[in-house]
Structure 1
Amino acid sequence: MAVYKNSSDAERVALLKGDDQAAFTEIYRRYWSLIYAHVYKMLRDRPAAEDAVQEIFSSLWLKRQGLKDAANLKGYLYVNARNRVFNLIEQQKTRQNYLGAIAKYLNEEDLATLTLIDEKECAELLDRELAALPPKMREIFELSRKSDLSHKEIAERLDISEHTVKKQVQNALKVLKPRLHDAGLSIAIILFMR
């Protein structure tokens, strides 16, 4: 190992190109902290800096055959580090732009669509549950809620007592409430609005 410590960068690069893992280990040991400090100064994020430095040295090993024999190893690693940081910043900027565009789309466009879909589903669910009611109870309830008639107006229209209308609406609500409990607030508003 003393051979590697006393060798020049050019000698280490030549050994590295010859697949010498000990030469790579010495390069890693000698330059890791310098490259890490350089990357951390730009990113200000320890895990991201550590990952970037790991990728820089992995890239050095993978591209070792393409290195020039008299390569300025320190300069090569600094340039690689700078490029890696620029790529990370660009990726982060792109990711932020993408997330911002999605958030904007969801806030502006999709909210109206989701509201319409929710209202449509609620109306369909309510119609299905109303269809399951006995015919007279359904008619009275629909006149009360959909036609917005008072109990007195319904009683006059159907020629029944106002008390019967009131009782039929209460019974319809007793039947519908448990069935529509899981549907949420939209159904509750439809049922209890007058």
Structure 2
Amino acid sequence: MVATLCDNELLTVFIARRHELVKYARAIVGDQALAEDIVQDAYFRLERAQQVKLDAKLDEPVGYIFRIVRNLAIDGRRRIGRENALIHGDGTASAEMVAEDTPDPEEKAIARGELRLLEKALAELPEKSRIALEMHRFGGCKYAEIAQRLDVSIGTAHSLVVDAIEHCKLFLAKGR
């Protein structure tokens, strides 16, 4: 089939098939936005191809449009693959770009110093206050459990924990 299309007729054919073209491109690249871009680029290429033809005839314009979309989609998919390979590679490039989760030596030294201070603060606490704080903060116990274990009321268990926390905060602030 030989078709002679002017720019308006070419645009009409393109618009009529646009939804099909996007769906076709999306099936290849797997991304709606990229498929939309590919179809847009396909139209520009189709326009240029129409301008280059001296006799203004384009054989099978619909098939030609689909072929352009297919080629652009395959190129886009290859580009994405290359980009992913550069970004992810064998894992070493991306691993080098991620900050370490472990603290540096200075942070470790500071944490050890604070831990020693906290141990001293806990040692100064009365036994019930220390046990209440340890059960609450380290054991995840509720005040009712602490109260039952220490044989005190829930309000007293709460006060023991709050007072122990306040003591530790003051102790750390002084930096004894």
Structure with more helix by fraction: 1
Using structure 2 for the length normalisation, give the TM-score. 0.49
